[in-house]
Structure 1
């Protein structure tokens, strides 16, 4: 793969035009693997954000996108998918430099993004209406329509893929978009808009506003001209989005935090359980909302599991995403690195045993990047902050349980409910336990794989609404009931005097 070194000058995209912001303040985008400057991004003003909203509203009402056929929109989505495939290598390189993840992860993200557009291109062409047998002489039906202007606010951990999870169903349904990516990872977000523009999507349908979440996100959420906000990020910010969106009771979809349990029974295939537990917490450097950060192990194998898990964790090759052999990449930013290291110190102060890792990595030329060792805590208790709070980094806590009842109790002892896993060779036990785990995305004898066809959904404070699958399309649609009289004439309800 050819590595480019050019510093990119990013722009806003409003009403089909690329432009600089009137705000002289800019954001420097840093490669987390080496600290090098990769892009300069504008910080849009409230006025520019409102302009993008105004354009999206006018475009929606014009019908240039909302009123064309599903078949036409499907064709656009398929063209976008083809362009993603054509630009695969460029997108992978930029995603690595933007986010810090390794090449294998970026490859999966870009491939899955193209597949997601193709999935919704097919789904929007399928029958979606319903008719009901009601009392004569009426015919009742339900149709689905676009919500309107949608504000899409995307996190930094999967900058391109998470954007596509929102864009594909939003566009398929006929909505217009005001798009706000994370400030630390705006590069591939800009490339996505370039691709959508190249595919010929009418101007004004998609609008890109780069800048600070506290300004742009709040403006989008508060606006009475925005009909829906779809946000992925922290639970704290999700609460703020929800409060601000209450002004016009706009529709919201929130995919928030997690502190997900991964339950390992003694009768599980041991090597499989260890291997998947490693992937569950160290994939993406632990910067994954569904990460299996709480590993809950049956006491009879606890010591053996901890020993092997630590051995394997110490052998993980941490390095730049573009370096050959790297198995875990950089933390996305210096501030996030500091946050992770602070949690590690909190864990030690709380009395947990730091069994492995816990340090920033500066050897072998990594001193300019944001790298941290795969970290493992044992001897933890449920009330510890490192057990309760989302760290969003490569930090695992390993807990111990005696029986099924205790395993479930520990698993559900959290404000979150995004994901969870169970490892056991007993199929009946696996189903008993997984059905009791209060989480929306679960696995048995694996951890992590998801599909465009299935919903991504959280319980409790992990969110409201769903991404992906038919459920993801539903989020971006309104349901309308239509009743038709088959016998046109007066009702006779009131006398005719």
Structure 2
């Protein structure tokens, strides 16, 4: 049994200066474990240890293919313990075992892809413009902070830690308060794989203290943050004062669009997966549904019928499709959005409440919900609910559709359902979003960059360039002219 009472500071397991916190199973409110919490002093120690480890000649001078072997070992170890990781994450977050198993395997794949990319990541001889040779090289930043969300532990951890280590940095990882157990387990896996001490610290704790201390610390040279837009803006403001680079993957209110020529079965399945999987707790959830008016009513009727048949239950139960939300407070926040929409005149087509009865009353459950008749300027259409709540809106023509789809402070993702690929391409280029799915939704590849525009964030993760995001570029010049520089001759 993993001991969660200690935190991982500079390669050492010990009690955190912030005491202990409870991890609660949202399926029934029971205690999963008590875990250690870091303090500001722990942040100082972790950063100091990180600087020593990152500056060590053996690590800094390690050849890329040798560092890649270490990343492969970490990926293999995660895969070997995927079932244990999945069970722990389901208890910590409420997610279905199928989803948490997929997240663990995704994390393993992230380390392997990053290892492969590292082995083939070349610097460049640049085109000469005089009697000299020029080269562009990339070097580690030093110590970077990685702040991850509660909706996809282990996968988010890997998405930041793998490229940061590949780039030669030390990493201070701060998991979300509600879901710290998996990140502490991750630290033990990385340690056992042979990562030199000090290159990874895992510091659970409140964002207002531990997270803030990491962001403000003068020894931290970059922050990679995934989470809410309000927090992301605060981090960006602090980074501006420090002149520190940041990567911010923030909120979304993503449109998904259905044209009359769409494959209706595919569209309904994709829309349901896009909003109701993960219980809607996904930054890229397709939470605004635009359906052409000519098919709107019939399409919505079929969608409501299919949604009402979804199986709501514990994440450990076979066949569960919609598991509890991560926390009771979050469930109540989602419910408040739906109640406000109804009070504003919107119609609840299905769901709209927590399920009742044995097996539900003690958990943080909420029924998959579809809302119609909402004003597009209302909160339910403009703000990120982060729950299993879909708003359906008819549209008549593409110009009006684009105007409404882009009428959001967010720009993270979009889905388009049509058999007309020329239309899909043209529309995808008009939508303000970092990712557009065509005739599918919520599919990911570690090889493909990901990020948002507008208030959905800045910077990109994943892909080969994901490693470069954790490096600093430097230019080298070699003089080749046999004559001295003429200026000094007077």
Q: Normalization by structure 1: what TM-score?
A: 0.96
Partner of residue 12 from structure 2, selected from 4, 14, 17: 17
1:188 maps onto 2:188 in alignment: no
1:124 is aligned to 2:104:
no
Q: CA RMSD in A?
A: 1.3
Pair 124,336 (structure 1): closer, same or farther in 2 beyond 3 Å: same
Report whether the alignment pairs 1:153 with 2:147: yes
Q: Deviations over 1:400-448 (max 9, x none)?
A: 1001112111111100000001101111111111111110111111111
Secondary structure, counterpart of 1:144 in structure 2:
strand
2:304 match: secondary structure: helix
1:485 shift after superposition: 1.0
Matched, 1:300 2:307: no
1:439 is paired with a residue whose SS is coil
> Could you tell me how far 1:7 is from its partner in structure 2?
9.0
1:10, 1:187 within 8 Å by CA — same for their partners in 2? no
Deviates more, 1:151-160 or 1:36-45: 36-45
Aligned-pair distance for 1:8? 5.1
How far apart, in 2, do the equivalents of 1:213 and 1:311 lie? 41
- Residue 115 of structure 1 is matched in structure 2 by 109
C-alpha contact (below 8 Å) 2:107/2:158 kept by paired residues: yes
- String of CA shifts for 1:23-68, please: whole Å, max 9, x gaps: 34x2110011111111112221111111111111222222342321
Distance in 2 between residues matched to 1:359 and 1:141, nearest whole Å:
61
Partner residue in 1 for 2:382: 388
Q: Aligned runs of 1:73-112 on 2, under 5 Å?
A: 73-112=67-106
SS class of match (2:416)? strand
Is the 8 Å Cα contact of residues 99 and 332 (structure 1) preserved in structure 2? yes
Give me the whole-angstrom Cα distance separating, in 1, the residues matched to 2:159 and 2:300. 36
The equivalent residue for 1:483 is 477
1:59 aligned to which of 35, 53, 59: 53
Equivalent position SS for 1:313 = helix
2:172 to 164, 168, 178: 178
SS of alignment partner, residue 60 of structure 2: coil
Post-superposition shift, 1:176?
A: 0.4
Aligned partner of 1:246 among 240, 245, 259: 240
Does 2:443 align with 1:449? Answer: yes
**Contact 2:4 2:181 (C-alpha < 8 Å) held by counterparts:** no
Aligned match of 1:162 in 156, 159, 177? Answer: 156
Deviations 1:432-477 (A, max 9, x none): 1111111011111111101000011101110010111023222111
5+ long unaligned stretches in structure 2: none
Residue 34 of structure 2 is aligned to residue 40 of structure 1: yes
Partner-residue secondary structure (3-state), 1:240: helix
Within 1, Cα distance between the matches of 2:389 and 2:213? 34
Q: Kindly indicate whether the alpha-carbon contact (under 8 Å) linking 1:284 and 1:329 is maintained by their aligned counterparts in 2.
A: yes
**Structure 1 98/490 Cα, relative in aligned 2: closer, same or farther at 3 Å?**
same
Aligned mates of 2:203, 2:2 — CA distance in 1: 20
The answer (yes or no) to whether the contact 1:218–1:244 under 8 Å persists in 2 is no
The structural deviation recorded for 1:380 is: 1.4
Counterpart Cα distance in 1 of 2:138 and 2:450: 21
Matched with 2:419 is 425
Answer whether contact 2:4 2:184 (CA < 8 A) is retained: no
Q: Secondary structure at the match of 2:394?
A: strand
Residues 291 and 395 in structure 2, CA contact (< 8 A), matched pair in contact too: yes
Contact residue 281 and residue 395 of structure 1 kept, 8 A:
yes
Deviations 1:263-286 (A, max 9, x none): 001110111111111011001000
- Gaps of at least 5 residues in structure 1 are 1-5
2:354 corresponding residue in structure 1? 360
Taking the TM superposition and a 5 Å limit, the aligned residue runs for 1:259-338 are 259-338=253-332
Q: CA deviation at 1:345?
A: 1.0
3-state DSSP of counterpart to 2:146: strand
1:488 Cα shift? 5.5
Q: Is 1:440 matched with 2:460? A: no
Secondary structure, aligned partner of 2:252: coil
> SS at the partner of 1:494?
helix
- Contact 1:7-1:39 at 8 Å conserved across structures: no
| Matching residue of 2:127 | 133
TM-score by length of 2: 0.98
Using the TM superposition, give the Cα deviation of residue 101 of structure 1 relative to its aligned residue in structure 2, in angstroms: 0.7
Q: Distance in 1 between matches of 2:357 and 2:306?
A: 20
Structure 2 residue 338 is matched with structure 1 residue 344: yes
Provide Cα deviations, 1:203-228, integer angstroms capped at 9, x if missing partner.
00001111111001111111111000
Aligned residues, how many?
490
3-state SS in 2 of match to 1:416: coil
Per-residue CA deviation, residues 230-269 of structure 1 (Å, 9 max, x unaligned), is 0000000001111122332111000000000000011101
Supply the distance in 2 between the matched residues of 1:64 and 1:351 (Cα, whole angstroms).
Answer: 65
> Secondary structure, in 3 states, of the residue corresponding to 1:9?
coil
Contact 2:222 2:246 in 1 (8 A): yes
Q: 1:72 to 1:7 in 2, by over 3 A?
A: closer
Return the alpha-carbon distance in structure 2 between the equivalents of residues 254 and 462 of structure 1: 8
